[in-house]
Structure formats: structure tokens, C-alpha cells
Amino acid sequence: MAKQKNIVELEDVVVKFVGDSGDGMQLTGTLFSDTAALAGNDLATFPDFPAEIRAPQNTVAGVSGFQVHLGQRKIFTSGDMCDVLVAMNPASLKANLKWVKPGATIIVDESAFEPKFVEKAGYKTNPLEDGSLESYHLIKAPISLLTKESLADVDIDKKMAEKTKNMFVLGMMYFLFQRDLDKTLDFILNKFRNKPEVVKANQTALKAGYNYADTVEAIVSTIKVGSAPMEKGRYRNITGNVATAWGLLAAAERSGRPLFLGSYPITPATEILMELSKHKSLGAKVFQAEDEIAGICSAVGASFSGSLAATTTSGPGLSLKSEALGLAVITELPLVIVNVQRAGPSTGMPTKSEQSDLLQALYGRNGEAPLIVIAASSPANCFYYAYVASKISMEHMTPVILLTDGHMGFGSELFKIPKTADLPDINPPVAKPNEPDFKPYRRDPVTLARKWALPGTEGLRHRIGGLEKTNINGTVSTDPLNHELMVNIREDKVMRVANYIPELEVYGEESGDLLVVGWGGTEGMLKSTVGRMQVAGHKVSLAHFNYIMPLPKNTQEVFSRFKKIVVCELNNGQFVKYLRMTFPEFKYLQHNKVQGLPFHIKELTEVYTKILEDK
């Protein structure tokens, strides 16, 4: 009979599942996250996996991981150091031990720690036996062996039995966190409905892991994380890529323009293409092109025909799209370009996240080709910034680059699903049939946007293209003064968007000793660190940017109220260069990280403390 376990109540917990690429850690982490969400926890996740399709087994380079930060309060980040680490082999333990808190719980598959695998991971001695893990609560469970034993009466082969060990360890985690099995049992049933033996194997392994954790003496206590206070509404755990796709769909519905996506698959942006392909019933048209250039060119053509046109990519693909981006600028057509950033240059590290494409987004085109640049800052708000990017692009008749990143695209958080009717209106300037005195480059005097004349509309025959045109009439022109005029108008049109975006908000006091400046996907970690320093009594505030070109109108005024400014980026200093060009009167300190990894609260706290102490 199992002994009663102690219950430890925690405000928040960081859990990480790690193993070989084929061990199912991404699925395990996702199911654990979904169950936490259903239990009322707020959460944020961070998948971390190798770029190789099938990395070498039992090597550090082949380790795949999934981190979950859950809590009974608002969660802004996927967490720093782990409270619980589940390691399925020696390599995954070695690769991730540096991210584990002293005293944390480590659950390992003891069956995988054979001498040859221990040596292959780079250990000289078995870490489960040499005392190197004494500062942790180590739970050694023969997970692989126990999984196979639990499936002795199930008619499946050894290979399939081995694959279900992730369900066994998930069952252990459900016991440890006092979670219900029912939702995951239903998921298994629905996913493998046509394979009854696979259903039985996975469900059996899940229950066996739960029962094992209930009886094993090494687990002396369970963890309780209460429900987080949330607004009433309908929620789901959503990744940034899915949220981006939904934002585009909502913008199409609200604007009355059909959605067209022309894209080429590329990590980490492909899931946007995949998600939109599921929604043909909502009118979405999705074209998987043969290359990046074809993807954006098809989108430019769709925009000319009157669609809300979008293309999705990552840094290498954005490079290839640059010429067609210039075409969208000179034709003054709406187009949303989603760049899910990853580590570069060239192919770089495809599955690792960086903020390294900002200067490319701002300036990476030939000629004077200004466009709007917006950055999302969390998986959930990818929805809203995809919507806003679509709204601004159509209403101002100019391309918009939306920057997300791999961390946001693959990561997830809870998302309160809004009603489309509650979203801001989108009013594209579509020209009416037989509009009096229609000219292709006649402009709104306030926004400078030209009318969107859809092909085939009676009385609106016109010409646009890659050659420079005369203002108003749109005839081909090589006149130098007209070219200068058109270049200035296109730039002025982009800069006037500053009148239609929110002013920069400050998190914390409106003035103080230090202003932390960030942009895009670093917001959660910067906000968490600044919040802790404020509680400790420091006069530190945060100004985080989502609107980059143009910048909010009050940016200069906000900067002027602080003694010191530090710009934090996951690159070598691209935003700070832009700020130095735009507002050279300020002195900018900077903290940069280019490791394909997010910031950590500990490192940021040390940086800010040193800046405050320096006279």
C-alpha cells in the first residue's frame, strides 16, 4: 500500500523534459502544458531541439528538450533554472544539468545509463553513482524497463513499446503534480483511433507511470500549483505561429478582403503555412511555392488583385524576398511579411532563436524602399500584431514586416480568444467603380495612401509596376525631380503611421536611474527582471518596443527622463545602432547575447546592478 505523500505548495515551477530527438519530449511537454492549462495554471513554454532531422542518438548534439513554466500568477517567461528536470538518457542530463537549481528534483531513466551511453555522452564515470548529483533530489527509475514490463500483455513490437516510455514518464509527472489523466487518455484515443493497439499501449504506459510514482519511495512529496487569477473567457494554449495565422484570418474577416498566403517552407516559420492550410472553409487561399521568390511574388500579385496578401519566412528567406519587397514598396500595395527570426548568418542554427534580422528588415532592400516594421513580443500577442500589421498595411497601402522569432513561434502561452467583432475596424481604401477623376497615385491628404483599385473594376483602368511613375497620374517617368518627389512621399507615408500607433508606455516609474530598453520577444524576461529590481527598491523601468519603423512619437521624451539607458538585445546591437542614428543626443549602454538562447533573470539582474553601481 502506498504511503501518503507530503504536499508542497509552490507559486510557480519550471519543468524541463529532455531526451533524444526520438524520445517524444516535444509531445510530452505539450501534453503536460495542456493539462496545466486545463488545471487553471498560467504558463509559457520553450521547445528546444536540434536542427538535424535525425541527430545521432545518445549524443549531446542530439538532445531535444521542452521547458514549461507554470504558476498560480501571471507568467511572463518560460523560466530560468529548472525546479524539475526529466532526463531520458545520459546525454540529455549532461546537456541540461547547468540549467537546474541546486536542490531541484531530477528524474532519470536509469535503464538508459549503460556504460557505452554514459561514455558517449562525455562522462568519465556514471553520474548516477559517482556522487556528482548529491545536491539534487535524484529519482532513479528504470523507465524503459518498467514501460516494457507494463506492456507485456499488449500486442505490440519491442520498438513500439520503447516509444511509449515518454507516456510512462508523463504519468509519473501527472502524479507528482496532482494532475488528472483523463484529458490525455482522450487525446491518445483520438490521435490513434484507427490503431487500437497503439491506443492501448500508450494509455497503459501512462497509467503505469502514474501508479509507479504513487508507490515508489523516492518520491516523498507531490507538488501543488494553484489556479492563476484570469479574466473570464475562453482560453487555449497557443504557439506564436498558430497565433500569427489566426491574426491574419481575423484581419481578413474584419477587412472583407480574402486572405492569400504565398510561402515556401522554412524553419521556424513553416507552421504558419500549415495552420492556414487548414482553414480553406474561412476563405484562406494558401500557395506553397517552389521557392521564396515565387512565394512573395505570388503574394504581390494577390495584393494587386485585392487580397489581404501575406508571405512567411525566416532570415535567409527574407534575403531572397528583398527585390520583390521593393516592388511592393514602389507599387504601394499592401503586403504582410512575417519573419520568424532564427540564428544566422546563412543557414546558421535553424532551430535556435535570435533577434538578428532587424537591420535587414529596416534597410535590406535596394534603392530608397522604406516600409513599416513591427515586432511581436509573446506567443499570444503574435495574434494581435499580425492583425495590426494587416490593418496598417491595408489602410496605408504599404508593406509591413512583422518580426517574431523561433522562441515565440514554437513557444506557447495561454491566449484568451477574442471575438472578431471586438477587434479594431479595418477600412482598406478600395476605389469604387467609375470613381470620378480616378488616378492611381492620387492620395489621401492625411495618410498619403493611394486608392486600392481592383483589376476589373469598371472605370478604374490603371498602370502600376516596378518602374518609377509620376505622382497622381502614374505614367512611367525617369524625370529626376519626380523621382525625388515620389521617394520622399513614400518615406513620408511610412513616417506618418506614427500618428496611428500607440505611444511608448513605461513599465514602472516614469523617470528614474535606469531605463531598460528592449524590443520584440525579450519582453517577458526584461519585464520579470525589472519587476524584481523594483520590488528590491531600485529606480529601474522598462520601455519595450513593438513599433520600430516608425518609432512611437514620444520615444525621445521618454528617454530624456532617465539618467541611464541600457538596450538589451539577442543580437550584436542592431536596435541600439538604430537608436543612435535616430536619437544621437542620448548615451546608450548595451547588453547583447548571441547564443541562440533567451536572456536569464540572473544575468540581467547582474548587468543592471553593475550599471546602477557604476558612477
Q: Is the pLDDT of residue 1 over 60?
A: no
Task: Answer yes or no: are the C-beta atoms of 529 and 604 closer than 8 Å.
Answer: yes
For residue 568 the three cell numbers come to 538589451
The reply to whether 442 falls in a domain is no
Q: Are strands 259-263 and 285-288 parallel, antiparallel or unpaired?
A: parallel
Domain that holds residue 377: 236-422
Could you tell me the pLDDT band of residue 3, with boundaries at 50, 70 and 90? low
Question: Do 362 and 510 share a domain, yes or no?
Answer: no
Give dist(CA 382, CA 520) in Å, integer. Answer: 10
Question: Do 596 and 519 share a domain, yes or no?
Answer: yes
Last residue of a domain, one of 224, 251, 277: 224
Task: Answer yes or no: are the C-beta atoms of 63 and 117 closer than 8 Å.
Answer: no
The reply to whether 104 falls in a domain is yes
Query: What are the angstrom distances between the C-alpha of 64 and each of 107, 133, 447?
Result: 16, 21, 49
For residue 194 the three cell numbers come to 484507427
Question: Do 17 and 106 share a domain, yes or no?
Answer: yes
Which CATH number fits the domain that encloses residue 81? 3.40.920.10
Question: Do 258 and 156 share a domain, yes or no?
Answer: no
The model's pLDDT over 393-419, given as tens digits with 9 standing for 90+, comes to 999 999 999 999 999 999 999 999 999
Burial class (CB in 10 A: 0-12, 13-18, 19+), 239: buried
pLDDT at 155: 84
The model's pLDDT over 58-91, given as tens digits with 9 standing for 90+, comes to 899 899 999 999 999 999 999 999 999 999 999 9
Q: Is the pLDDT of residue 158 over 90?
A: no
Kindly report the backbone phi and psi dihedral angles of residue 490, in degrees, each rounded to the nearest multiple of 5, phi listed first: -65, -40
Q: Is the pLDDT of residue 176 over 90?
A: yes
Question: Do 157 and 288 share a domain, yes or no?
Answer: no
Give dist(CA 21, CA 597) in Å, integer. Answer: 19
Give dist(CA 51, CA 61) in Å, integer. Answer: 9
Question: Do 365 and 404 share a domain, yes or no?
Answer: yes
Query: What are the angstrom distances between the C-alpha of 238 and each of 21, 66, 243, 245, 476?
Result: 23, 15, 6, 11, 47
Question: Do 219 and 254 share a domain, yes or no?
Answer: no
pTM exceeds 0.85 for this model: yes
Give dist(CA 84, CA 172) in Å, integer. Answer: 12
The reply to whether 571 falls in a domain is yes
The model's pLDDT over 503-521, given as tens digits with 9 standing for 90+, comes to 999 999 999 999 999 999 9
Element containing residue 362 per DSSP (H, E): helix 358-363
Q: Is the pLDDT of residue 2 over 70?
A: no
Question: Do 328 and 187 share a domain, yes or no?
Answer: no
Please state the rounded mean pLDDT for residues 482-490. Answer: 98
The reply to whether 555 falls in a domain is yes
Look at the chain and report how many structural domains it folds into: 3
